Amino acid sequence: MSHAMPLTTKSLDVPDLTATQQGWAPEDLQALETAWRQLERLTFATRLTGMIGRKIETAGAFIPARIRRLAGRATAHALQAAMRAALRSLHGREHHPSSARMHRALATAAGAAGGAFGLASLPVELPLSTVLLLRAIADIARAEGEDLSQPEAALACMQVFALGSHSPEDDFMDSSYFAMRAFLARSISEATRFMAATAAADEAAPVLMRFLTQIAARFGLVVSQKFAAQAIPFLGAAGGAAVNYAFMEHFQTLAQGHFTIRRLERKYGKDLVRESYNSIHLTDKNL
């Protein structure tokens, strides 16, 4: 089990963290460190590599173009289905008991079916898994104090789908997590205003489609890795179930980190949280 990284510096290249610690409760600093690990440390490809014993990062390159196109369409349909569920939550029609285990069990069952029937099941299995995943993300959001009757909170749930494709190449920015939030900030702001002003928001509205397109570009990378793993001949139904379990667990972990950060921002302000988060990020790179 990993342990919390102490908020200490190692070189003059790393900012002095004592200033950023002012006013922080110890448990909140611990929560921030945990959130950093959840958002920056483990990729979905790494999870799959540990599970099936072979590298999966480049496996998508060997899937036929026809299957890649199918995966792309399935990703778009999956996100549209998730957005419909998110919009229903704004009107109080989507509220389910919180259960991380239940969501993982349902996702595992869907993955087993996908593994048994192969990639032909992709157009059905992925939208189902994605909506289950959104419900799991929403449960975590509520537990961290989000009001899902508000458009911005519902979009923050959708934003989690774009957080799952972190790679070392993202490190040229201050952090991949905050870089992705900055990348999506304008489209989320526009979509929030649109949803707040429209009683019956439609996921096909241009402003929401732009938001979904941005998310799909990142979510699709993880989906390609997922189906590259499920396409390995010896995996079968059991392997498909394991891949879907890892898929659900990965995004639940990201959601926990994301909504912990948002909770801390409501308490300490966005600037201080980002400064402290980036200090942890820089400290890790210099260790």
pLDDT tens by residue, the chain, 287 residues: 444 333 333 333 334 455 455 679 999 999 999 999 999 887 887 777 766 655 565 555 556 676 677 778 888 888 988 888 887 766 654 445 455 565 555 545 554 444 444 555 666 778 888 888 888 899 899 999 999 888 999 999 999 999 976 654 444 444 589 999 999 999 999 999 988 887 666 777 889 999 999 999 889 888 888 877 777 665 555 666 777 788 888 999 999 999 999 999 999 999 999 999 988 877 766 55
C-alpha 170, offset from chain centre: 15
- Predicted pLDDT of residue 165: 67
Token readout for 1 is 């089990």
Q: How far apart are CA 68 and CA 45, in angstroms?
A: 17
Q: Decide: pTM greater than 0.85.
A: no
Q: Show the tokens assigned to 10.
A: 């190692």
User: How crowded is residue 63: how many other Cβ atoms within 10 Å of its Cβ?
Assistant: 16
Residue-level pLDDT at 52: 62
Give yes or no for a contact between 67 and 119, defined as CB atoms under 8 angstroms apart.
Answer: yes
pLDDT of residue 86: 81
How far, in Å, CA of 244 to CA of 266, rounded? Answer: 33
| DSSP H helices in the chain | 18-21, 26-40, 44-52, 65-89, 100-117, 122-143, 151-159, 176-197, 206-230, 236-268, 270-286
Give the model's pLDDT for residue 245. 81
Q: Distance between CA 214 and CA 184 in Å, rounded?
A: 7
pLDDT at 166: 60
State residue 2's pLDDT score: 40
Q: Which residues contact 223 (CB under 8 A, 6 or more apart)?
A: 71, 74, 75, 78, 126
In this prediction, residue 9 carries a pLDDT of 35
